[in-house]
Amino acid sequence: MSSVLATVICVVMLFWGISDAQLSPTFYASTCPNVSSIVRGVVEQAAQNDVRLGAKLIRMHFHDCFVDGCDGSILLVDATGINSEQDEAPNTSVEGYGVVDDIKTAVENVCPGIVSCADILALASEILVTLAGGPTWQVPLGRRDSTTANAARTSDIPSPFETFENLSLKFSNKELDSTDLVALSGAHTFGRSQCQFFSQRLNDTNPDPTLNPTYLQTLRQACPQGGNPSRLNNLDPTTPDDFDNNYFTNLQNNSGLLATDQMLFSTSGADTVAIVNRFANSQTAFFDSFAQSMIKMGNLSPLTGSNGEIRADCKRVN
């Protein structure tokens, strides 16, 4: 290839926003080959003391990626020039930051200045899903960390109170389709949610008609009017700590905890209904799609090459 042709190709790539810096599962093969085992060692230990850890960190990863891409911005605390995303409504119930710090410390002790906090979130999510009985996948790596947070853009994160149209739109705005929406919602097959995020469905005079009547009564007992809004309830009442496809059979039985869960199955004419049925009928289909959707979500606008930095402390810019 002539130097002139190479220059032309580079210019075209830059014009179209194409980068030669791509994420790869082997990104740290020479610089930190044991990174996955280091992360696994920390989260395996932490998960023994917190059965909810997998749900916590995959939620953190999801909330990170939906704000300007998977760049670790959710981990930044308030500082000069930093208005933390953690203090905004979608993130005030996000937990697990201490474990991320522990992982970062362990990684820095072996590979200082090499592995990003954004990649730590992606790796920890996959490992914890696998530990809970879910699928495994090759996590693309090579993200760098942002030097800013974007509190205003936390409105991009789907809330439990969205309409079906808004929920779909928030995913499509990130180039995630209906299969991604249903598959990633399937992460609610483990973990907990606070009463305040679904109590509006339990109204005495006008309860959500898509709620199974028996399940409605169970939830009313768990979350009585005037009760503790922060009380935790299983997102999957059947196998609350296992990563499986029971979330989808729950939806078929009108036993989705959040309105945004149940609407995937109960919205008449929605293309998500057939996807829910497919995943309910085949755990393998769900696992395959979930892995693909996690990789797709993890590829949202990563910082690569010379963009961003490798934070020494996930909570602060260098």
Binding residues: 64, 67, 69, 71, 73, 85, 158, 188-189, 236, 239, 244
Which of 63, 104, 192, 201 does the annotation list as catalytic? 63
Q: Is 61 a catalytic residue?
A: no
State the DSSP string of 286-304.
Answer: HHHHHHHHHHHHHTSS-B-
55 and 190 Cβ atoms separated by less than 8 Å: yes
Tell which residue, 226, 41, 237, 220, has the closest CA to residue 124.
41
Cα distances from 26 to residues 89, 105, 300, in angstroms, run 36, 22, 19
- For the chain, give the number of residues: 318
Phi, psi of 79 (to 5 degrees): -160, 175
210 and 269 Cβ atoms separated by less than 8 Å: no
Please state the residue numbers annotated as binding site for Ca(2+).
64, 67, 69, 71, 73, 85, 189, 236, 239, 244
State the DSSP string of 212-227.
Answer: -HHHHHHHHHHS-TTS
Q: Write out the catalytic residue numbers.
A: 63
